[in-house]
Chains A and B, each alone.
Chain A
Amino acid sequence: MPQVMDADRMSRALTRIAHEILERNRGLDDLALVGIRTRGVPLARRIARALKEINGDEVPTGALDITLYRDDLMRHAVGPQPLVRRTEIPFSIDDRKILLVDDVLYTGRTIRAALDALIDFGRPRAIQLIALVDRGHRELPIKADYVGKNLPTSLKQSVQVRLQEIDGADEIVIEGEP
């Protein structure tokens, strides 16, 4: 179970992403972060904290649950429905630039669902995508704007992002044969 990122490097990757956000958007006006549940949410909060340390400005942060928008929900005849958790976006997304945050970018289907969900909340000026890990194997035409680490993987492998807030430690590990 090789570790591909430890806590220190994760923190530096997130700080770098924060700098890239500032560079690309020339300031934080009209920006907001939306994390995809589960692990996108603490990542979004950390990026907000990093942005505040660099620039001093608060960026509004929300949490998005995409379960009800999944494209595979009703495809399985028998089996438990995935847990639905609360979406909390306590600000208007109209005319804002939304930074969507997820831990692992893989097939792109989660992001497709997240885009549909976001657009039901209003009409953002733009949506940019932040992924801590991009492991490839896209099934939809989706690309991240900010990537913590590009990680070539095989389809048999699984990538686990662990975060202090949820799992008690910060690390990324790859499981399975290459």
Chain B
Amino acid sequence: MTTRTVDRPSDSTRPESTGPGERPGDRPNPSEQAAPQLRSRHLLGIAGLDAGEITLILDTAVAMKEIGGRAIKKVPTLRGRTVVNLFFEPSTRTRTSFEIAEKRLSADTLSIATATSSVTKGETLVDTVRNLEAMSPDMIVLRHSSSGAPELLSRICRSAVINAGDGMHEHPTQALLDAFTIREHKGRLSGLKVAIVGDLLHSRVLRSNVLLLKTMGAEVWACGPATLIPSGIERLGARPTTSVDEAVEGADVVMLLRIQHERMHAHFIPSVREYFALFGMTPERIRRAQSNVIVMHPGPMNRGVEIDSEVADGPYSVILEQVSNGVAVRMAVLYLLAGREEGTLE
């Protein structure tokens, strides 16, 4: 029986002991008994998380998802907390998802898109954030085109920093929501064959996903044109291939990454039609995978480039589930980090 070490006043009859067998059956690993927690007060990437922390976030998201199904989709947990969503890159899905997650937890939120901010007047990231911090937010959700921008902020900020995608580095909440979606369908992550197909070189989603899936014991294949496979991807634990058939063969999960149109101008691929012919996910190609395969895409997707419409709208597509699960996973991250106040800086 683990009683919490922090002295919560006069509620000692309700220790946070996890009664074995009391949780719903979706918890694959009941081994961490003693009040599991996140070690860092920021979420900068998957790279800093171990399997226990990832499991904690995913388990918490299970409870958060239920809130989204209620008539009143709101709990008072983060009442009086202020979260700033600072987006230096265009984003609809991620920003909306964070905003909804924050509102469902009753936080006060404001979103700053750079097009309308003083960044256009030449203010630097650090100055923008220092000015925001003078208004005492509790958390900052940052999307930035430079890899490492959240890391930089975490060193100068009092607020907890959540990385909502930085350059070609990481997009941790995307990988977490992907893992959550996979676990909902497959019941586990370890031992699964996951094929990731698309622009591997410029993808922060790929990096975060490979790190997470490897930590959780999945087998990850990374497939794309040779020009778009980053060197050293084996060191992350992924198996690179240029053969889409090899990647998809027997896969439990097929995850497609967007081919960004601007890449064509940089001569990474000859044409959209050629890419689709060689790598596009068609119903014929998907037949090589397991019969209960799920097809994922972090969005925004280009129909007829990386994915055939028939696959995108097919029965194995979980693309819209990913979007709704994103809210639950972000609620879990916000909740878990909100407990970690200023205190010590890592």
Contacts and interface: CB of A to CB of B under 8 A. Distances in A.
Nearest to B72: A120
Interface in B208-253: none
Contact of A79 (B67, B332, B339): B339
A83 B6 contact: no
B346 interface: no
Given A106-B10, A107-B10, A158-B12, A81 B75 contact: no
Contacts of A69: 75-77
Interface residues of B, number: 51
A69 B63 CA distance: 13
Interface in A103-126: 103-104, 106-107, 109-110, 116-117, 120-122
A78 B66 contact: no
Interface string B41-64: 000000000000000000110111
A104 B15 CA distance: 12
A39 interface: yes
B8 A83 contact: no
A66 to B, nearest CB: 9
Contact of B77 (A73, A165, A167): A73
Interface stretch (A8-16, A17-25, A49-57, A84-92): A84-92
A82 B18 CA distance: 10
A137 B10 CA distance: 9
A159 interface: yes
A1 to B, nearest CB: 13
Interface in A93-147: 103-104, 106-107, 109-110, 116-117, 120-122, 135, 137, 139
B19 A167 contact: yes
Given A38-B17, A83-B36, A86-B63, A68 B77 contact: yes
A74 B76 CA distance: 11
Interface of A: 37-39, 41, 65, 67-70, 72-74, 76-88, 103-104, 106-107, 109-110, 116-117, 120-122, 135, 137, 139, 158-160, 165-167
22 contacts: A37-B22, A38-B17, A38-B22, A68-B77, A68-B335, A78-B340, A78-B343, A80-B35, A80-B36, A80-B339, A81-B37, A82-B16, A83-B16, A86-B62, A86-B63, A87-B63, A104-B13, A106-B11, A109-B10, A120-B72, A120-B74, A166-B19
Given A70-B11, A107-B10, A110-B11, 4 more contacts: A38-B18, A80-B37, A80-B339, A84-B60
